[in-house]
Each structure stands twice: as C-alpha cells, then as structure tokens.
A and B are shown apart, each in its own frame.
Chain A
Amino acid sequence: MLRIRKLPIIGFALFIIVFPWIAGTIPAIGNYPDLMIFAGIYCLITIGLSLLMGYAGQISLGQAAFYGIGAYVSAILTVHFGLSPWFCMVIGMLIASAVAVLVGVPSLKLRGHYLAMATLAFGIIVFIVFNEEIEWTGGPDGISGIPGLSLFGFEFDTVLKYYYLVWFLVFAAFIFTINVIQSRSGRALRAIHISEAASSAMGVNVSRFKIMVFVYSAILASLAGSLYAHYLNFINPSTFDLFFSIKLLIMIALGGMHEVWGAIVGAFLVTFLSFEWLHFFEEFEVIVYGIILLLVTIFLPHGLVGIPGIVKGWFRR
C-alpha cells in the first residue's frame, strides 16, 4: 500500500487527456467533459479531505465553507473591485488558510464527534454569513457576472480549455499529495491516525501536523471554489451549504477513505450519479442514491477502490 505506482497515474492521465475527444464523437455523452470539470473541481476538495480524514484521521464537516470562501473571495474581488482573477484566487487561498488556522487551532484539539460538530458549526456559520451579508454576497440570489479566466491573453472560455486547466491542477495536487504521503510527514500522519499518544511520545508534533493538513485541505478547497466561480460565472450560498459538506464525506466514503485514489473515484461517482445517471429515476432519485450509498457501505467497507482487493481474494481461494 505504501508504494505508489507510477503506471496507474500515467494511465489515468492518458484517459483524462483523450476522454473529451472520445466523448465528442458520441452524442449521448457529449456533455460528459462538462461534467468532468465539476468532477475535477470536487476531486481537488476530496484529495485534501482524504489526506485529512483517511491519513490524519480528523473528520471535517465544514469543508464546504472553505470551498465557499474561495468562491466568494474570487467573486467579490473580481466583481466589486475588478481585480485579476488569478490574484483573487491566491488571496482566496490565503484567507482560507488563515481561517483554517484560526478554526483549526482550537478545533483540532477536539476529538471524534466533538470535532465533527465543531467543523459542522463552523460550516453553518460561514453559510449564514454568505446568506445574510447581502451587500457583499448578494444574499440567496448570489453573485453573477463573475469573469472567466485567461492567461497571457489566452482565454479559458470553452469547455475543453477549462477541462484541461482544471485537470492540470487536479494532477498537480494529486502528485503533490502522494509525495507528501510517501515522505516522513506522511508516516507521521499515519502514526497520528493510529495513536496520537504514541506518535506524540515518538517525537511527532501532533498538533502542528494536524493543523498543516487542515490548512492544506482548506487551500485545495478554496482553489476549487475559485475555479467553480470562474467557470460558472455565478455563485449562490446554497452551493456551499452543510449538505455539500456531507456530500463530500459521502464521496470519500464511497471511493474509499484510506487511499487518495478513493477520493478521485468517489468524486467521479457522486458527480455522475447526481448530475446525470440518476435523472432516469426522477422522483425516486434520492432513494436510489441512498440505497447505493448503503450498499457500498455494507459490502465495500474500503469503498470502490477496495473492489480489486476483493476480486483478488476470490481468485486466491
């Protein structure tokens, strides 16, 4: 498990690169690249969350707040002040990490359900601010007219261009995260997950590591939020409510919490299930979604990335 192989990553990268060209030739999935942009944006958040939950063992039910902070900072600064989107994106990440330190220092001392509730409360408070501060955030009607992104005169104005931008960033985050996991810090994180007391005795600065991972996950979520805002050109608070935080948790659980791959598979699956595949069930959509979630929880305790292991087990018998 510790060694991360390069081959699957290269294979996945190739798949991502050629996918839009395949989808372009099949009318029935012509909108899939568009969906993949959102899947990629969610991947950014779940990669960070997976490091926090699966590796450092800290739960967060407030991740939507950082996603929202990124989106709102980008939207407010570009729309109200006309600043450059890239600059705003960085400001968003800085603000998100400052907030993460502020919230994380007292919160990460809490354990288990107390931490879950604290992060949940934080998420709800941030949502209420988005909803109430109409002068800045537009209230429930949101902010429209957020500019698109461009780099040295190159406009990311089509689905295809934005697709490659988002996925470039996802791979950057993915590879960076994998390197962190394989480094000394990664071992320290896993040690914290297993036993805080033991790792502390071994000389690991537990609280510093926890804060660092929390900040890292906040930065990724904030980046995702900025990308979302500049792609949709519109944001409103309901995108960043606590149900989105729960949805992120579901992505991680469905994909598999103990591997970064799980974060990616989970984000894909939930995006496509909720945006496309379950439309067919109309009003039953919610029930089917719940049943899928329950079945995976019962039969695949390690999430979808656990399937190969189970299949291997069958052959060994």
Chain B
Amino acid sequence: MEEFSFANQLFQYLITGLTVGSVYAMVAIGFNIIYNVTEIINLAQGEFVMLGGLIMVFLHAVAGLPLILAFPITVILVTLVGMLLDRLAIRPIRQPSVLTLIIATIAASIIIKGTAMFIWGKDPFDLPAFSGRTPINFLGAVIQPQYFWVIGFLIVTVILLTLFFEKTIIGKAMSACADNPDAASLMGINVKWMILLSFSLSAAIGAVAGITVTPISLMEYDRGAMLAIKGFGAVVLGGLGSFPGAILGGLILGTIESFGAGLISSGYKDAFALIVLLAVLFFRPSGLLGSVEISKIKRF
C-alpha cells in the first residue's frame, strides 16, 4: 500500500471541504440575491438545486441531449420555475410581512418537492461526470475532475454576478432596490420587475449548483431542504446581503464539516459547523462580513 501521510489527509479534507462548500456558497448567493431585493429568505432555494440536478438528468442522461445543450436548457427551465414562484406565491400576497413571505416560500418548497416526487419518483439519479471519472493525484490528495467543475462554476458565477451588478443598468437598479426600495421606486425603477428578476437569477444559480453537484452526490427529490439549510447557515455566517460573505460562509461551513468528519467525529460533523456558526453570531451578530448599520435599517 502506498504511503498516505497525515499531511496528505489534511489536504484531502481541505479539497473535499472546499468542493462541498462551493455548493453551499452557490445556494447562499442565491439566498442573497433575493434577500437584497425583498428581505425574504427564500426557503425554496434548495428546491432549485434539486430541480437543476433532476432536470439535467432527464435531459442529458435520459433524453440524450449533449451536455452543452442540456445545461442551458436546464438553467432556463429552472429559471422559469423561479419566475413562477414569484408570480404564484410571492406577488399575490396582499399584506406581505416578512414572516408570511417566508411561510409562502416554505409552502412553495413543499409543493415543488411533492411535484418532483410525482415526476421522478423517490429514487436517486446519477449524472455522468462532465469530464470523466478518472481521479487526479495532486500533492498526495485524490481529486475528482468534477470537483474542478463545481469550484470553477462558483468562480464563473461570482465573476458574472459582479459584472452584472457593477456594469449593467439593470444590475445597478437591482442594487438600488436593495439599498432603498422606496427611493428606487421613486427613481422610476419597477420594483416588481426587480423582484421577479431576483427570483430568476437565484433560481438559475441554484440550477447550476444542482447540475454540477449531481455527478458527485447523486440527486433525489428530497435533497433540497438540507441544502437550503446549509446555504442559509452559510449566508448568515457570512453576513446577510454580502456576496463575499456568502462565499466565505459556504466555504467555511464545508471545510469545517470535512475536517470535523475526518479529525474528530463524523456523527457530529454537522453539529461542529453549527456550533462555530453560533459562536460567530454571538460575537458578530451580523455575521463575518455583514454590516451592522445595514442590518439595523432592514426590517428583518
């Protein structure tokens, strides 16, 4: 048996943690986009990830569409679901308080999950890895090629979003809504459209996360809730509304879980991540990179 040193193990934990963390980070970014415009935590965010994975399986592995086609079609379909979510569950609410809006997203997630169970059944599905399954040896750690795709898509998503929010008119308008919806509305920005856009964007990002993680972890209809909770944890850890915070939060949670499982106790690995989260919140009530000032003007 080849030498497998402790240092190699640590490096392996780090790589695994960053990959899992990237998925959490993508979910967290999705949370943030909607939160910034609406102050809602969209608890159906995990369902977008699940739908992304399962629709991709259907288009690519079952219907046989090539990856390059199936990928964008899946993202578009999930984006449509995101739009429907806004139109059917969020916008009709007459007296929106943050809590009723959250309950509406819970209801939506129940409906999406139930429908997915009806369409795909309860079994897990597999998706072929994008560039084969031959693992790469790097510094003694073993890396699946799919890991690079997950981390890579996180980076691409972050770059595209930065460009969108900094360079385009719509993106700037969305940021304006986030800062002050009333003022934005006075400036002629259609806040309703911005909300729709925020749901579409975060659905699309959720779909990307689902598509890239399915070759690693398989996907089944009820995976969404757990991912939503991890993403929620990540976004709170990093600070609500902060995009760098979401990424940092996701990567930290993933890494703690991985090191916790490897070095201490795998049964308690989720608990470690949450204890760290609580400890951070008790000392920094607005998360690592969240701004105290902003959190004060937010209703929620």
Q: Is B truly associated with A? A: yes
* Contacts from A to B (Cβ < 8 Å): 53, 59, 106-107, 109-114, 116-118, 120-122, 124-125, 128-129, 131-132, 242-243, 246, 249-250, 253, 257, 283-287, 289-291, 293-294, 297-299, 301
Tell whether, in the assembled complex, residue B94 and residue A106 are in contact, meaning their CB atoms are under 8 Å apart: no
| B236 contacts A59, C-beta separation under 8 Å | no
The A interface is mostly helix, strand or loop, or mixed, namely helix
Specify which chain B residues have a CB less than 8 angstroms from the CB of A289 in the assembled complex: 110, 114
The 3 closest A-B pairs by CB, nearest first: A290-B110, A287-B114, A286-B114
Query: Min CB distance, B95 to chain A, in Å?
Result: 4
Pull 13 A–B residue pairs with CB atoms less than 8 Å apart, ordered by A: A106-B281, A106-B282, A110-B285, A116-B41, A117-B233, A131-B267, A246-B106, A284-B118, A286-B110, A290-B107, A294-B89, A297-B89, A298-B104
**Chain B residues with Cβ under 8 A from A111's Cβ?**
285, 295, 300
Could you tell me if B232 and A117 are in contact, using CB atoms closer than 8 angstroms?
yes
Task: Please list the residues of chain B having a beta carbon within 8 angstroms of any beta carbon in chain A.
Answer: 35, 41, 88-89, 92-95, 97-100, 103-104, 106-111, 113-115, 117-118, 225, 229, 232-233, 236, 240, 267-268, 270-271, 274-275, 277-278, 281-282, 285-287, 295, 298-300
B100 touches A297 (CB 8 A): yes
Q: Which residue of B lies closest to A197 (CB)?
A: B296
B285 contacts A109, C-beta separation under 8 Å:
yes
Q: Which of A107, A112, A297 contacts B93 (CB 8 A)?
A: A297
Query: What residues on A are CB-neighbors of B300 within 8 Å?
Result: 111-113
Question: Chain B nearest CB: distance from A1 CB in Å?
Answer: 16
Residue of A whose beta carbon sits closest to that of B282: A106
- How far does the Cβ of A108 sit from chain B's closest Cβ, in whole Å? 11
Given A128-B268, A293-B103, A114–B110 Cβ distance below 8 Å?
A: no
Cα–Cα distance between A280 and B173 once the two chains are bound (Å): 48
A96 to B287, CA, bound (A): 27
Nearest opposing residue in chain A for B35, CB measure: A113
In the bound complex, do residue A114 and residue B285 qualify as a contact, i.e. CB atoms below 8 Å apart?
yes
Question: For residue A112, which residue of chain B has the nearest CB?
Answer: B300
Q: How far is the CA of A88 from the CA of B123 in the complex (A)?
A: 43
CB closest chain-A residue, reference B113: A286
Report Cα–Cα, A109/B278, bound state, in Å.
12
Which A residues touch B107, using CB under 8 A? Answer: 290-291, 293-294, 297
- Give Cα A263 to B274, complex, Å: 29
With the chains together, A113 CA to B299 CA distance in Å? 10
Chain B residues lying within 8 Å of A253, measured Cβ to Cβ, are 99-100, 103
Say whether A122 contacts B278, CB under 8 Å.
yes
Q: A250-B103, A250-B106, A287-B114 are in contact. List 7 more A-B contacts (CB 8 A).
A: A113-B236, A114-B281, A118-B281, A253-B100, A293-B106, A298-B92, A298-B94
A301 to B275, CA, bound (A): 35
Q: Which residues of A contact B295 (CB under 8 A)?
A: 111-112, 114
Establish whether residues B111 and A125, one from each chain, have CB atoms under 8 Å apart when the complex forms: no
Give B93's nearest chain A residue, CB to CB. A298
Residues of A within 8 A of B240 (CB): 113-114
In Å, the complex CA distance between A272 and B106 comes to 20
Is A112's CB under 8 angstroms from B98's CB?
yes
Residue of B with least CB distance to A106: B282
- Of chain A, the residue at the smallest CB distance from B279 is A106
CB-based contact A120/B232 at 8 Å: yes
Closest to A105 in B: B282
Whether A112 contacts B114 in the complex (CB less than 8 A), given A120-B229, A132-B267, A294-B108, comes out as no
Rounded to whole angstroms, the CA-CA distance of A294 and B107 in the bound complex is: 5
Residue contact A113 to B281, C-beta cutoff 8 Å: no
How far does the alpha carbon of A145 sit from the alpha carbon of B39 in the complex, in Å? 47
Check if A293 sits within 8 Å of B298, measured CB to CB: no
Q: Which single member of B93, B99, B111, B275 contacts A291 (CB below 8 Å)?
A: B111
CB distance from A41 to the nearest CB of B (A): 22
Residues of B within 8 A of A286 (CB): 110, 113-114, 117
Nearest CB on B from A263, distance (A): 14
B residues near A299, Cβ cutoff 8 Å? 94
Q: Which residue of B lies closest to A288 (CB)?
A: B114
Neighbouring A residues of B111 by C-beta, 8 Å:
287, 290-291, 294
CB of A121 within 8 A of CB of B278, answer yes
Q: Which of A125, A243, A249 has the most CB of B within 10 A?
A: A125
Min C-beta distance of B86 to chain A, whole Å:
13
A128–B110 touching, CB < 8 Å = no
User: Chain A contacts of B285 at CB under 8 A?
Assistant: 109-111, 114
Q: How far is it, in angstroms, between the C-alpha of A207 and the C-alpha of B109 when the chains are bound?
A: 34
CB–CB B41/A113 < 8 A: yes
Task: Verify B118–A283 contact, CB threshold 8 A.
Answer: yes
Interchain nearest-CB distance for B149 vs A (Å): 29
B113 and A121 within 8 A (CB): no
Bound together, the chains give a CA A120 to CA B226 distance in angstroms of: 12
- Minimal beta-carbon separation of B216 from chain A (angstroms): 23
Instruction: Give the Cβ gap from B278 to chain A, nearest Cβ, in Å.
Output: 5
Q: Which A residues are in CB contact (< 8 Å) with B118?
A: 283-284, 287
